[in-house]
Structure 1
Amino acid sequence: MQIVHSPLHLRHDGGMELHRGALVPCYEMPARAEYIREALVEAGHALVVPRDFDPEALLAVHDADFVAFLRTAHARWREDGRDGFMLPSGFPARGLRRDRVPSGISGAMGYYAFDAGTPIVEGTWDAAFAAAQCAMTAAALVAEGERSAYALCRPPGHHAGRSVYGGYCFLNNAALAAQQLRERGFGKVALFDVDYHHGNGTQDIFWERDDVLFVSIHGTPETEYPYFLGYADERGAGAGEGFTLNLPLPRGTGWDTYDAALDTALQRIADFGADALVVSLGVDIYEGDPISAFKLGAERFPQLGARLASLGLPTVLVQEGGYAVREIGTNVAGVLGAFGACR
């Protein structure tokens, strides 16, 4: 399996985030990708560098004004006389105007962000664009004949919508991979999100499309981030009605319940008749994850990899969450090793 990785992820080191009401050091840290890289190299995988995609490729899934904001946000922050990490202080919630973007950087940040847990620093754009290029490169490799490829993306992407960022995510790497597969000849693409947190951004991007099926198993938004999307009654709209499947599960879910949901998800993907698969690979379903609440042991990740491989589809795996930092490499390697062994 080809492993696509960029060291530019190190340029994004967020500092502090607001997590469940407390200002804490960021759980999404550079060490996450470094532990994954080390584990994969130790397992014998070779790393390849991402290709140089034009930023215009981002506009297939993101609005141009949003991308322009991300590219210039920290420079504008500096021009405003400030330094360090950026967090928003106000949002266009109910009763406030949502039809115009404030000209000042603080207001613009609140317009495009949906939480105060996703800091922007000077190197954030470089890292986010490199992650997007990793995902698009992995998709290109699969389109060119590789049976599978893994994009070691950091920062992650599945919370980033068409014109919104949050949940540690700026550009939607998995959505960009799916779009690349579509543009390169795959008629139907299934995008399966196994991260503990619902991929609200991915759902947003493909909500009205019937060529990309979005399926997600995640912690229930009744109690789990991002709280306001991911319910079972969300099924898509317009041409996309019926092409979103959410399988929310309660805190404390163990393997038996998770495996039953996995059966449902894999059957829906098979029924869809997908020509290719993108996996938003969050390993924060691990029982030791500090910001998640499923109870899956490390031994379950090879099982997950084997179940994903059972679909027999050309597959792009895109790294999302996983915040038990010292275990993250082992858990990702468990998925990829079993996936490759079953192909």
Structure 2
Amino acid sequence: MRVVQSDAHASHHPKHFLVNGAVQDSPEVPERARRLAQAARDDGHQLMAPADHGRGPIAAVHSPEYLQFLEHIVPRWQRIEGASAEVIPNVHPQGRWPASYPASAVGQAGYHQADTACPISEGTWEAAVASAEIAVTAAQLVAEGARHAYALCRPPGHHAYTDMAGGFCFLNNCAIAAQWLRDHDHARVAILDVDVHHGNGTQGIFWTRGDVLTVSVHADPVRFYPFFWGHAHERGEGDGLGCNLNLPLARGTDTQGVLAALEAGFKRIRAFQPDALVLALGLDAHEGDPLKGLAVTTDGFAEIAAAIAGLDLPTVLVQEGGYLQDALGANLQSFLAGFERARGS
């Protein structure tokens, strides 16, 4: 499989992660991507660098106001006397809409960062742009005839909205890839998210659109991040009504439970008749992942991959979650091998 990756992700190394009011080390660190790249290399996959597509694909999904914030907030923040080393908001506009847009760096941080799990520092913007380029390059490979390509993105993206970061995510790589496909002769695109967390940003971006279907299988947010989104009753609005399907699962659901939920997702995808599939690949559904949501086994990832490959759609696989633990590389190898075996390639 063609694997698109870049070492530019290493410039983003968040230090802090607020959990239950306590400051902890962030689990979203460069070593994640290094291990995944090495695992892909060890299994004989062909690694390649992303192409330069300019800022257009990013701007097609994210607001100019938000992109300006991400690119320039760090030096503005550093001018604040006594400010933290990383941009972390301490105020959020509850309800947010309608809300006036503040001029201050502190106010804008609260407006554009949903939580305290997406600190911004020197190098974050560059890493996020490179991550988006990886997703676009993989989408281009598929548009040019590859049956599938894997975008080893870091930072991840599926919690990022049009104008808001959250949950380790800044630019929504899956949405950017899907929109790029839409702009390049793919009239209908489906996004299937198998990360342990609901892809709330992806859902929000396409909430009122009927040309992109969003399906997410994830741990039930009633007691799990992102809490406020990802419930089964959320279906979309306007032209997007019925083009959003959430399949929340009880904490600890195993491989077979995930496969059963996916069958319902596959029915919706087949009914939508997409020209291509973007897969938000979260390896954090593993039983040993430190965020502890679901209980998929390493071998189970191969089963899940084979089931998804059975949709027989041109597929862009976009890396989302999956955190440091002994099985991380093996989980990726299992998924990619299962996918390729099912495709006969």
Distance in 1 between residues matched to 2:221 and 2:97, nearest whole Å:
26
Kindly provide the amino acid, as one letter, of the partner of residue 231 in structure 2: Y
Deviates more, 1:325-334 or 1:230-239: 325-334
Matched residue, 1:89? 90
Matched residue, 2:182? 182
Distance in 1 between residues matched to 2:236 and 2:173, nearest whole Å:
20
Matched residue, 1:70? 70
SS of residue in 1 equivalent to 2:221: coil
The answer for unaligned runs of 5 or more in structure 1 is: none
Kindly provide the amino acid, as one letter, of the partner of residue 246 in structure 2: N
Matched residue, 1:312? 312
C-alpha contact 1:235 1:244 (8 A) present in aligned 2: yes
C-alpha contact 1:138 1:316 (8 A) present in aligned 2: yes
Q: CA deviation at 1:57?
A: 2.1
Kindly provide the amino acid, as one letter, of the partner of residue 52 in structure 2: D
C-alpha contact 1:32 1:325 (8 A) present in aligned 2: no
Distance in 2 between residues matched to 1:66 and 1:115, nearest whole Å:
16
C-alpha contact 2:57 2:136 (8 A) present in aligned 1: no
* Residues paired across the two proteins, number: 342
User: Structure 1 219/342 Cα, relative in aligned 2: closer, same or farther at 3 Å?
Assistant: same
Q: CA deviation at 1:21?
A: 2.3
Matched residue, 1:49? 49
Question: Normalized against structure 1, the TM-score is what?
Answer: 0.97
SS of residue in 2 equivalent to 1:167: coil
Distance in 1 between residues matched to 2:237 and 2:273, nearest whole Å:
20
1:123 to 2:123 alignment: yes
Matched residue, 1:278? 278
Aligned pairs for 1:1-343 (under 5 A) are: 1-81=1-81, 82=83, 84-94=85-95, 98-343=98-343
Deviates more, 1:190-199 or 1:323-332: 323-332
Which digits, 9 at most, give the CA deviation of each residue in 1:146-183, with x for residues without a partner?
11001000000000001110100000000001011111
C-alpha contact 2:286 2:298 (8 A) present in aligned 1: yes
SS of residue in 2 equivalent to 1:118: coil
Kindly provide the amino acid, as one letter, of the partner of residue 133 in structure 1: E
Deviates more, 1:7-16 or 1:266-275: 266-275
SS of residue in 2 equivalent to 1:265: helix
C-alpha contact 2:288 2:325 (8 A) present in aligned 1: no
Question: Normalized against structure 2, the TM-score is what?
Answer: 0.96
Distance in 1 between residues matched to 2:215 and 2:84, nearest whole Å:
40
Distance in 2 between residues matched to 1:9 and 1:325, nearest whole Å:
19
Q: CA deviation at 1:267?
A: 1.6
Q: CA deviation at 1:325?
A: 3.5
Which digits, 9 at most, give the CA deviation of each residue in 1:254-283, with x for residues without a partner?
223222101111121112111110000001
Kindly provide the amino acid, as one letter, of the partner of residue 85 in structure 2: G
SS of residue in 1 equivalent to 2:72: helix
Distance in 2 between residues matched to 1:333 and 1:170, nearest whole Å:
26
Kindly provide the amino acid, as one letter, of the partner of residue 58 in structure 1: I
C-alpha contact 1:194 1:217 (8 A) present in aligned 2: yes
Distance in 1 between residues matched to 2:251 and 2:309, nearest whole Å:
27
Kindly provide the amino acid, as one letter, of the partner of residue 279 in structure 1: L
Distance in 1 between residues matched to 2:172 and 2:325, nearest whole Å:
22
SS of residue in 2 equivalent to 1:53: coil
Distance in 1 between residues matched to 2:114 and 2:169, nearest whole Å:
11
C-alpha contact 2:28 2:323 (8 A) present in aligned 1: yes
Kindly provide the amino acid, as one letter, of the partner of residue 264 in structure 2: T
C-alpha contact 2:290 2:325 (8 A) present in aligned 1: no
User: Structure 1 71/302 Cα, relative in aligned 2: closer, same or farther at 3 Å?
Assistant: same
Distance in 2 between residues matched to 1:74 and 1:103, nearest whole Å:
15
C-alpha contact 2:285 2:296 (8 A) present in aligned 1: yes
SS of residue in 1 equivalent to 2:318: strand
Deviates more, 1:317-326 or 1:81-90: 81-90
Kindly provide the amino acid, as one letter, of the partner of residue 89 in structure 2: P
SS of residue in 1 equivalent to 2:222: coil
Distance in 2 between residues matched to 1:312 and 1:228, nearest whole Å:
33
Which digits, 9 at most, give the CA deviation of each residue in 1:208-254, with x for residues without a partner?
11111000001111001010000101000000100000001111112
C-alpha contact 2:93 2:99 (8 A) present in aligned 1: no
Aligned-residue RMSD, C-alpha: 1.3
